[in-house]
Structures are given as structure tokens and as C-alpha cells.
Amino acid sequence: MKIPTNDPIWTYTAAQTASVIHSGEISAVEVAKATLERLDAVNPMINAVVECRPEEVLDQARAVDAKRAAGKELGPLAGVPVTIKINTDQKGFATSNGLRSQANLIATENNPVVNGFLKADAVLLGRTNTPAFSARYFTDNQLFGATRNPRNPALTPGGSSGGAAAAVTSGIGAIAQGNDIGGSVRYPAYACGVHGLRPGLGRVATYNATNPHRSIGAQLMSVQGPLARTIQDVHLGFAAMCGRDVRDPWWFGGEEHATTTPKKAAFCAHPEGIETAPEVEVALRDAAERLRDAGWSVTELEHIPPLKEACHIMHILWFADKQEQMLQAVLDEGDTGAILTVKGAMEWVGKVGVSELGAALTRRAALVQEWLTFLDEWPVFLLPPSSQLPFYVDEDIHKGFQYITENQYFMAGLPAIGVPVLMISTGLVRGNIPVGIQVLSGRGREELCLNAGKTIEAQGAPPSPIEPVLVDEVL
């Protein structure tokens, strides 16, 4: 692998970092020190990492170097700096989820994804910010404050993995762990101009001992996934996260068809008559052409399985359990954005009793069947990430829950289906506003998403890592 020897170490991809550490060209401690220096230099401008313990980071790096010196086999992410989201259990750290009420909720064991990164010999760099309750496409809370989008601070960095996306975009770590129940990996990747994978249900084991018994909706729709600056690094992160763990009753592994599935794709610009911003549609058609240029057969479709209904079901399942307690918890926290989101969703779905929940689960099964049949015919499907370019900061507060939801059917409908979705950043418009597309494949076909993603990425992606843009530079 060719390594840019004149570039700062913190700019290396995860693949490059692991390569030079495996070969002994650079030590894990050198990488850790360079990345910590980068964090100190740019994190005050963007507030992506809200907790970092430098000496513990260096201790992890020293352990990797000692392992190599002893002649032991290193893991695939040896010495690679990785960030962990603050709603994910990491032993000895608070699983705060952006809440003042959980600021001292210290995890006593690791979530399986944390163990996966440690098994791969990654170095855990720090904890990334999220909105209160991880409930918005905007990353802000009363515990740690707001995270800024490093490409354009007038835009949201996305949510809920906004800190994760802002970190990797700025060179604070090569891979970021996130999770996605309504777009929380994919939307931050879209807004910050990097890539993110939402694996299918059951592909990545997850379990937080700090909150061991989640509602059925969260169990069916919330998944763990990686964000990174290259598709190759997304792939490496996904591989590290995929290990078996019996604490997750939904884990099943996966089947891979990437090498046997024909290069056949489809896309739809306006499913169910949904309008999209012109730049978003151009990005979608550009991605389709990139696949055609690489020898793929790509077909434009006018009709696809339902997305609006899937989005509604997603919200029913998300807010079905303990509605009164959830609302009271949000009111007690007093976070304006979280209150708007939760109240708006509850008004939309109405009172959910046993019969309503049963009907939603039954209808969800029918939609899953319809989507799996569709994706069997069209193994790769391209879809816009949103009807709009990335939202401006606090646009939900200014325009309301309904406006945001009506522009996020492409993002929030898919978790109810449970198939893998890859967000690929393909370029910038209007100077520094990211655009990109989503790639869907059938159940267990993450590899196919990633292979198509590499083909699309090869013909252009926004430059990264970048120096964060200051507010006065965009005014």
C-alpha cells in the first residue's frame, strides 16, 4: 500500500495506519500522539469529542507496540484511532446519551462493538457527542453543548452521530462508531461529507448493560455502524464490529453474495411523488452514471415499495413503549430539540396501544417481505439520502417536526425494513455543502453495498480530512 509519507500521520486512513504499524515503519504510539495533537488543535472549534483520556490512549498504543515487539500477530486495525459514541457502553466511561441525568451512569462492561475494536487492536481515542436522547438530526445537548459541522458551521453536523462524523471529517481518528435508528449514522455522514454504513438487523451484535432491556421497536431498528473517510475504512470498521455476542438475541451473522451477484442496479428519484432538491437529484443520477461507466446495468424506476408508510411505522415502533414515561423524561431534561422531536412524533403516531402496536408489527412484516422481494430483483438500489440538502443548524426548531419528517422519508423509512444501507458522499455543491446517495442491498448483503460504494467513490468524493471552517468564513 502506498503511504503519503509527506502527509501528517493523522491524515492517514485506517488502512494506511494499520499497514505502517504492521510493517514497523511507524509505531502505534507515534500515531496516538499525532492524533491527540490533532484533537487538541481542532476539537475546540467543533466539539466533536467530549471526553478523552490521553494517558489511557497512549497506554493502549504502547500495548499494541509491545505486542508487535513480542512477535505476536497484530489485529487488522492495529493502532488505528477509533472514536466511540457517548450512548455506547465503554467500561469506565459514562453512557450519558447527552443527558445531564446520565452524566454519572458509568458502564461496567463494554458493548460488543467496543470489544470488537479492541480485539482488532484499535486504539480507542475518545467519546463523541450526540443530541439529548440521540433523538434529533442535530447534535446539541445541555451536558456538552453543540457540535459544529467542520465543512460548514451553518449546517448541522447531523445526528445523532454528529460528533462521530465531525471527528473523522476533521482527522480526529480514522473510524468512528455510531448507531442508527432513524438515520443516525447515515445523516451525519451525509451532512459532513463522509461515508457511513447502517448494517442490516442482526449483523452487528449490540448490548448496553446500562440499558439492557430496550423496547421492541428499538431492538428491531437500532443498529451499530461505522463512519469513515473512505469506503475501505468503512469496510474495515464493519468487519471489526461483526463479532458474535450472545448478549444480543438478534445477532445472526450474514450471507455474502458480492462475488456472485451480477452488476445490476436501479434507482428512483421521486418515489411516491416525493420531490427532491435539484442538487440531490443530480447527485443520484451522477452516481447511477458512475456505475454505468464501470460496466453496471442501471435502470431508472418510477415505483418502489412504500417509504412514507415505512417511515410512519418506524415512528410508531420507536415511540410505542412507555410513551408517558418517555415524554416525562424529555420534559425533565428540558432539552428544547428533544422535546420538539418527541412531542412531534407522539402527535403523529397518536396513542399506541396493544392493537396499534400489533398492527404496526404485522404491517412491518409485509413491508419487509415486499422490500426483500424488490431487492432480490434489483440487488443494488440507489436512493437519495434526503429530499433536501443538509439542514441548517436548528432548522427543526425553526420549521417544526413535520417539515423535517416530510423531507426525511428516504432516511427514516429504511430502519423499519432492516436491510443494509450505505451512505456515500459524492461531492460538494454551492461551495461547501455535501451531497451523496444511499445504496441499499438485501438482507446480509453489506458486502454488495460496499463493493458498489467503492465503484461510486472511485469517481470522486469530497476531500478529507479537512481543516474545520470557522463561522466567520461562511458569513
CB contact set of 225 (below 8 Å; sequence gap of 6+): 177, 178, 179, 180, 185, 196, 197, 198, 199, 204, 238, 241
84, 127 contact by CB (below 8 A):
yes
The grid coordinates listed for 114 are 467496543
Q: How far apart are CA 202 and CA 132, in angstroms?
A: 26
Choose, from 27, 85, 161, 441, the residue flagged as catalytic.
Answer: 85
265, 378 contact by CB (below 8 A):
yes
Q: Is 184 a catalytic residue?
A: yes
Choose, from 27, 96, 160, 387, the residue flagged as catalytic.
Answer: 160
Q: How far apart are CA 28 and CA 62, in angstroms?
A: 7
Q: How far apart are CA 294 and CA 459, in angstroms?
A: 10
Q: Is 160 a catalytic residue?
A: yes
Choose, from 170, 184, 425, 464, the residue flagged as catalytic.
Answer: 184
Three-state SS sequence of the chain: CCCCCCCCHHHCCHHHHHHHHHHCCCCHHHHHHHHHHHHHHHHHHHCCEEECCHHHHHHHHHHHHHHHHCCCCCCCCCCCEEEEECCCCCCCCECCCCCHHHCCCECCCCCHHHHHHHHCCCEEEEEECCCHHHCCCCCCCCCCCCCCCCCCCCECCCCCCHHHHHHHHCCCCCEEEEEECCCCCHHHHHHHCCEEEECCCCCCCCCCCCCCCCCHHHHHHCEEEEEECCHHHHHHHHHHHCCCCCCCCCCCCCCCCCCCCCCEEEECCCHHHCCCCHHHHHHHHHHHHHHHHCCCEEEECCCCCCCHHHHHHHHHHHHCCCHHHHHHHHHHHCCHHHHHHHHHHHHHHCCCCHHHHHHHHHHHHHHHHHHHHHHHHCCEEEECCCCCCCCECCHHHHHCHHHHHHCCHHHHCHHHCCCCEEEEEEEEECCCEEEEEEEECCCCCHHHHHHHHHHHHCCCCCCCCCCCCCHHHCC
Q: How far apart are CA 391 and CA 389, in angstroms?
A: 6
The grid coordinates listed for 10 are 493523522
The residues assigned a catalytic role are: 85, 160, 184
